[in-house]
Structures are given as structure tokens and as C-alpha cells.
Amino acid sequence: MKITDFDILKRSYSDDLTIKYNEKDSRMMTGLYLWVEGSLGKETEIIDEIRINAPNAKLKTYTLKSEEPRYITATGGEVLCIPQTAPNPDGAMQFINWIYSSEENYLFAIYGIEGKDYDITDGRINKLIPDEFFYEWMFRNKNYQLFTPEVDQSYIDTYTSWDDKAITSEMLGFRFNNENVKEIEAAIKELAGKQMNPILYGFVDYETEYPKALQALKDAGIDDYIAEVQRQMDEFLASKQ
């Protein structure tokens, strides 16, 4: 009997794990799981917690279709925001600008006082206290970021050159206004969760269930929703000419 890569994957990633998406990082930190969906920098963020349970653990980031073009489209899901109700929004913005104005300010805000909270040797940072003052990823800036001694240089090279060949998308800055299609949006989101996700994760038969789910989305108005998105995108691109 020959064991395939797919067999190994099935044994290491069960249906139960598939549907509990938000537990992905905590599962890795137990030291019992092989991989997790992440982003560049994930391995340095969680490796210390993983090594509590698996002292010899090593992590590496892999990308899918790395030969394809890479686009800069948006900031992603992690952004610094100032609430509308902030009593001093200008002061908050000044603080953020201060952090990014110099490497000295950046290191002080995140790691504290050099010689007391951290020290730097051969361009690598050694943390002298267990935690940073802020999570480093909140303010991550490749121009200032330092790495601990155990981080491979190959990873640092990849990290610092990640966007060197990236293409700035023409859609950068586009923001969809759902005001005209709120009810449709709510309906298709509900259907996506109830009918599309089970298909995506392999819990139901694709051949029979996908046409039903697609028709349900059409009945809910997804074509009108797509048309509204396309209209706003066309207007956005036209305004840049």
C-alpha cells in the first residue's frame, strides 16, 4: 500500500479543523499541527509560543504560485485606525507619525529602552523582557524592523524584498459603497455561509450542490450586486484618467 501526500494531508487536517478556522493559530501553538494559513511574518510572531510545547520546532513560509505576478491592492485586514469618537484624533495621528519618523522612535515605542529592555548585537535584537510594549506587527515597518538571532538570513532577505517586484494595482484606493445594495449583500452573505462554504470545504457533493447554490445566489440578486460593483469600479478607473 502506497501512502500519498493527500493521505498524509487528510490525516493531519481533519474536517473538524477545517470548520474551526479562527482557532488556526492556537492549534499551531500546541506544537501538534503541521501548518497554518498565514501571512509573511507569521512564523516569527508565533514561534516562541510553539516552542513552549515543541522546543525544536522550526517554521517556514511557503507561497502558492510564487511565479505569478504579485499585486499591491490594499492594506489588508490589519490597519491602524483612529475612532470617530476619539477625543484627540490629531494627537493620535501625531503619535503614529512620531513612531515612524525615525528608527530610534520605532524601537523605543515597541521594545523600550536599549540596554534595559533590549540590546542589539550584529544587527540582531535580543529582547531582555518577555514582551514588547506593543505587538510588533501593529507597526511593522521593514525599514526599521530588527530580527532575533535565530531568524534565518534567507527569511530576512525574503521579507525585506517581498514587494520589490510587486505591481501597484490600478484599483488601489477603490472603496465600494454598498448603500444601494445592502439588502442584497446581506442575503448573499448568508447564502454564501450556508450553501457555498459546505461546497468549498468538501462537506457536500460539488456536482449536485453547486448549481443549486449558484441559482440561490442569482435569486437573491447577486447579478445586480456585481453590476453595482462594476459600475463603481468603472467610475473609479475613469476618474484616474
Provide φ and ψ at 54, rounded to 5°.
-135, 85
d(CA 8, CA 21): 20
Asked if residue 73 is part of any domain, the answer here is: no
Count up the domains in the chain and report the number.
Answer: 3
Query: What tens digit of pLDDT does each residue of 105-126 get?
Result: 999 988 889 999 999 999 999 9
State the pLDDT confidence band at 6, using cuts at 50, 70 and 90.
Answer: low
Contact 146, 194 (CB under 8 A): no
State the pLDDT confidence band at 5, using cuts at 50, 70 and 90.
Answer: low
State the pLDDT confidence band at 215, using cuts at 50, 70 and 90.
Answer: very high
CA dihedral 36, 42, 44, 47 (to 10 degrees): -30
Q: Same domain for 146 and 91?
A: yes
Q: State which of 146, 168, 190 marks the end of a domain.
A: 168
Q: Same domain for 188 and 119?
A: no
As a whole number, the mean pLDDT across the chain is 83
Report the range of poorest mean pLDDT among 40-44, 133-137, 152-156, 202-206: 133-137
Asked if residue 83 is part of any domain, the answer here is: yes
User: Concatenated DSSP letters for 11-30?
Assistant: HHS-HHHHH-GGGHHHHHHT
Q: Which of 60, 11, 51, 13 has the alpha carbon at shortest distance from 31?
A: 51
Q: Same domain for 164 and 82?
A: yes
Asked if residue 60 is part of any domain, the answer here is: no
Q: Same domain for 82 and 163?
A: yes
Q: State which of 141, 168, 195 marks the end of a domain.
A: 168
Q: State which of 137, 168, 199 marks the end of a domain.
A: 168
Q: Same domain for 82 and 164?
A: yes
Q: Same domain for 128 and 148?
A: yes
Q: Same domain for 162 and 185?
A: no
Asked if residue 131 is part of any domain, the answer here is: yes
Provide the percentage of residues in the chain whose pLDDT is more than 70: 84
Q: Does position 75 have pLDDT exceeding 80, yes or no?
A: no
Q: Same domain for 82 and 152?
A: yes
Asked if residue 148 is part of any domain, the answer here is: yes
- Structural domain of residue 24, as residue ranges? 5-53
**Single pTM value for the model:** 0.60
Higher local confidence (pLDDT), 177 or 152: 177
Q: Which of 117, 221, 234, 131 has the alpha carbon at shortest distance from 176?
A: 234
Asked if residue 59 is part of any domain, the answer here is: no
Asked if residue 193 is part of any domain, the answer here is: yes
Q: Same domain for 184 and 210?
A: yes
Q: Same domain for 93 and 161?
A: yes
